[in-house]
Amino acid sequence: MLEIKNLHAKVGDKEILKGVNLTINDGEIHALMGTNGAGKSTLSNVIVGNPNYEVMEGSITFNGQDLLAMSPEERAHAGIFMSFQVPIEIPGVSMTNFMRAAVNARREAQGKEPLKSTDFLKVMREKRKLVEIDQKLMNRSVNEGFSGGERKRNEIFQMAMLEPTFCILDETDSGLDVDALRIVAEGFNKLRTEETSAIVITHYQRLLDYIRPDFVHVLIDGKIVKTGTAELAQQIEEQGFDWIKEELV
């Protein structure tokens, strides 16, 4: 369970989050919608511990642990995963080596032995099939020369490898064509267990057709101003955010 209380955070000198409260129980999918600059990405980055974002006030606990006291890699080891909006290139580091380092770092944190090479490659093969990602990409450097769609698919592939319990999909649908969107979303659904919870950030209804949210939140100017069910997303798709802003006045 992830519990966010009265969260204020800034980037540089600019306060972006101005008191966010949100509780996500195991197994729940929460969609986060809102205008550009409302604070959606800031919220995700604060949860995963990006050092460019500074928490000013408030708390986040994850399964009872004080998340804000943990380093980004400790949060990852605890089961938190973010699918990046813009996955970065790491020249010189092959996907296979990168994944091996990530998987074994997590195993080490759990007190397990590193995976044997043959076992690791077997797991890679299985998980690749889930998101239909090409073997050729695994021999390339991380995200280097990947198309937009391949990068997003690669994010979900990494999620498959790391088996997180809490996922953030930060605009995973942007830049994907219809088929790629379906593959990525179905991949995510296949990976979900009863415990998996997620925050899905999106501007569009179409991703939510595949990944059905239990709750939809609207973030405006650093606060969650409205919470509803899947129908709210539908309504936003049709009418935009202005009616919600008007309600606030």
Q: Contact positions toward another protein, by CB under 8 A?
A: 48-52, 54-59, 66, 68-69, 71-73, 76-77, 81-82, 84, 87-94, 97-98, 101-102, 105-106, 109, 141-142, 158, 162
Tell me whether residue 164 or residue 213 sits nearer to another protein (CB atom).
164
Half-sphere exposure of 205 (CA within 13 A, CB side): 12
**13 three-state secondary structure:** coil
Residue 197 DSSP one-character state = E
**Residue 66 CB, nearest approach to another protein (Å):** 8
**Residue 13 CB, nearest approach to another protein (Å):** 15
Q: How far apart are CA 222 and CA 19, in angstroms?
A: 7
Residue 241 DSSP one-character state = S
**Residue 93 CB, nearest approach to another protein (Å):** 4
Tell me whether residue 168 or residue 208 sits nearer to another protein (CB atom).
168
State how far the alpha carbon of 132 is from the alpha carbons of 43, 93, 128, 178, 186, in Å: 30, 22, 6, 15, 11
Tell me whether residue 98 or residue 120 sits nearer to another protein (CB atom).
98
Tell me whether residue 97 or residue 234 sits nearer to another protein (CB atom).
97
Tell me whether residue 160 or residue 236 sits nearer to another protein (CB atom).
160
**177 three-state secondary structure:** coil
**Residue 68 CB, nearest approach to another protein (Å):** 5
**Residue 70 CB, nearest approach to another protein (Å):** 9
* Length of the chain counted residue by residue: 249
Closest C-alpha to 218, from 38, 34, 39: 34
